[in-house]
Each structure stands twice: as structure tokens, then as C-alpha cells.
Amino acid sequence: MAQISFSVNGKKQIVDTDPATPLLWILRDHLNLVGTKFGCGVASCGACTIHLDGKAMRACVLPLSAIADKEVTTIEGLSEDGSHPVQQAWVDVDVAQCGYCQAGQIMSATALLKQYPNPTDAQIERGMSGNICRCGTYLRIKEAIKRASENMK
Ligand code: FES
Ligand code: FES
């Protein structure tokens, strides 16, 4: 057991647990931030994507020991009311089908747009390639990323 402090969506958190515990379980079971989803548990689907110090990471394989004193952002931290330009573009394009993968898709897209404010098709495909959608919403995701890019100018 170890005490680890970090911040989530701007709020300081201290947890006392096994430092090997994946961040995903802390978010969902301890902090009740259930927007971040469990898909595969082995960093292969992207459903659990969060930002760690602004970079997209998979929370299912991120041990608590790796996030000490760092800043975590989850889908709940993008905006309080869904008004972040990427979330808004998702609504405008009506991207979601079942919705299960979409929080992870939005977190990856937000990190991608930070790196490439005007992403090419190839940059979108490469940046989003680790996020799987069983419903096949990939074309709408690409359109929403382009729309968010326009709206963020
Ligand atoms: S649940 Fe983390 S990548 Fe699939
Ligand atoms: S919208 Fe259903 S898995 Fe992506």
C-alpha cells in the first residue's frame, strides 16, 4: 500500500492503495468518474483514454505509481456542460451510435487536435487508430474532428 497524490480535473486527490492499481479502477470505483470506460483492459481498444499532463493515455494499463503528482483529465473534465468544441462537434455530426467508445474517442481527438490543429486525413487516421468502435462510426468521427478543427480556429 502507498499514499499517492495526483490531480483529476483540477481537483487534488490522495489515494491509499496498491500502487500497481490501474488508474481506470480508481477513476471509476473510487472517484465515481464513470465516463471513462472499460473495454479490453490491455491497451488495445481506447475506451479508457484519458489525458495525463495533456497527453492521451490508456487508463487501464496506467498504474497509480506512474501518475504521482501529475494532472489527469477525464471526459468529465473537458467541460461541465458538454460545450467543449470537440464535444459540440460530436453532437453536431451525431457521431455516437451505442456510445460506449465515444468518451475515449473524444479524449483521443482532443489530444490529436492539440498536436495538429488542422489535421490531415492521414494524421487523423494515425492518431485515432488505437480507438476501436464496434459500431463503425469512423467516418463520422473523422468529420467531427474536422468540424471541431474549424470551430476551434
Ligand atoms: S480498456 Fe483500456 S484500451 Fe481498452
Ligand atoms: S459507438 Fe458503439 S462502439 Fe463506438
- Burial letters for 17-33: b for 16+ Cβ neighbours within 10 Å, e otherwise? eeeebbbbebbbeebeb
- Looking at residue 1, its pLDDT comes to 86
For residue 58, the cross-strand partners are 49
Model confidence, pTM: 0.97
CATH fold match for the domains 2-78 and 85-151: no
Domain residue ranges of the chain, discontinuous segments joined by +: 2-78, 85-151
**Backbone dihedral region of 9: left (phi > 0), alpha (psi from -120 to 50 degrees) or beta?**
left
Ligand 1 contacts CB of residue 40 (under 6 A): yes
Ligand 1 atom closest to the CA of 40, numbered from 1? 4
Question: CB–CB of 75/35 below 8 Å?
Answer: yes
Q: What is the pLDDT of residue 47?
A: 98
Spatial separation of the C-alpha atoms in residues 21 and 38, rounded to whole Å = 14
- Which superfamily does CATH assign the domain made up of 85-151 to? [2Fe-2S]-binding domain (1.10.150.120)
Structure confidence at residue 54 (pLDDT): 95
Short-list 96, 98, 126, CA closest to 111: 126
**Please, how many CA atoms are within 13 Å of residue 40, restricted to the half-sphere of its CB?**
16
Helix, strand, coil percentages in the chain from 3-state DSSP, rounded to 5? 40, 20, 40
Cβ of 127 closer than 6 Å to ligand 1, yes or no, is: no
Helix then strand count (H, E) for the chain reads 6, 5
* Closest atom, ligand 1, to C-alpha of 39: 1
Domain 2-78: give its CATH code.
Answer: 3.10.20.30
pLDDT per residue, tens digit, the chain (153 aa), is 889 999 999 999 999 999 999 999 999 999 999 999 999 999 999 999 999 999 999 999 999 999 999 999 999 999 999 999 999 999 999 999 999 999 999 999 999 999 999 999 999 999 999 999 999 999 999 999 999 999 998
Residue 30: the pLDDT is: 94
